[in-house]
Amino acid sequence: MGSLLVASAALTIAMSIAAPARAQSRTVPPERSAAWNDATTILALSALGLELVMPRVFYADPEVTAGWKARWHISVFAPIMTLATLTLVNEHHLKSSFASPLPGCDDTNPYDYRCQGYGMFSSQSFLAFSALGQGTGVFLGDTLKWSDGRFNAGAFTGEVGIPLVLAVITAVGRTSGDLETGGQVWASAGVGAVIGLGTGLAYSLMQRPECGYSGSLLCW
């Protein structure tokens, strides 16, 4: 009986000095910047819009009329709408499939209002860099195939230079505003750039920049 009392007392003392159990601490997500969200959306749409209104610049065949020419093509809606559609599909379907959490979100705060949504793929980053890829593809096709390698600074600025600036600012803004992680942003940018480059090259190589023999500025 005595030994039983001693054992019970020892167990009670051991339990009383044991470290108390602690619940898993909750991760506090950062505040998302609404200003950066709006700005990057506008920048991404501007990059795509620029590719829509940018003319095809090419060096005309000397047998027809020598010199630099610019033509606007209605057919550019095909690659532009393709990229816009892919962005919408990502926003409404692919993000939930990947379910990549936003910065500062984990299993300790699934219901926090700052964790409602996913970061992969970043729609703004994808759209901005796909527009850059589209413009780069068109510039390469028009320069290497239709202009025999002649470089035009205006075409480069409109198709590549300005979209590059808009795309980089978009990517920086998404991370600066804690809207997505750096990995999510730049992975989205890479995928967008590759897809945009493919559509731009395919379009520019299949669609001649000249409007037939009419010499019209607008090609149907």
User: Is position 103 within any domain?
Assistant: yes
User: Is position 18 within any domain?
Assistant: no
pLDDT (tens digit per residue) in 127-146: 999 999 999 999 999 999 99
pLDDT at 154 over 80: yes
User: Is position 219 within any domain?
Assistant: no
Residue 11's pLDDT is 44
pLDDT (tens digit per residue) in 26-41: 778 788 999 999 999 9
Structural domain for 107, as ranges: 31-211
Per-residue burial over 1-37, b if 16 or more Cβ lie within 10 Å, else e, is eeeeeeeeeeeeeeeeeeeeeeeeeeeebeebbeebe
Contact call for residues 120 and 97 (beta carbons, < 8 A):
no
124 pLDDT tier (thresholds 50, 70, 90):
very high
- Residue 196 to residue 190: CA distance in whole angstroms: 10
What's this model's pTM, rounded to 2 decimal places? 0.83
115 pLDDT tier (thresholds 50, 70, 90):
confident
Total number of domains constituting the chain: 1
24 pLDDT tier (thresholds 50, 70, 90):
low
User: Is position 9 within any domain?
Assistant: no
User: Is position 131 within any domain?
Assistant: yes
Among the listed residues 69, 15, 6, 113, the one whose alpha carbon sits nearest the alpha carbon of residue 217? 69
User: Is position 49 within any domain?
Assistant: yes
Residue 113's pLDDT is 82
User: Can you give the C-alpha Rg of the chain in angstroms?
Assistant: 28
114 pLDDT tier (thresholds 50, 70, 90):
confident
pLDDT (tens digit per residue) in 44-103: 999 999 999 999 999 987 666 678 999 999 999 999 999 999 999 999 999 989 889 999
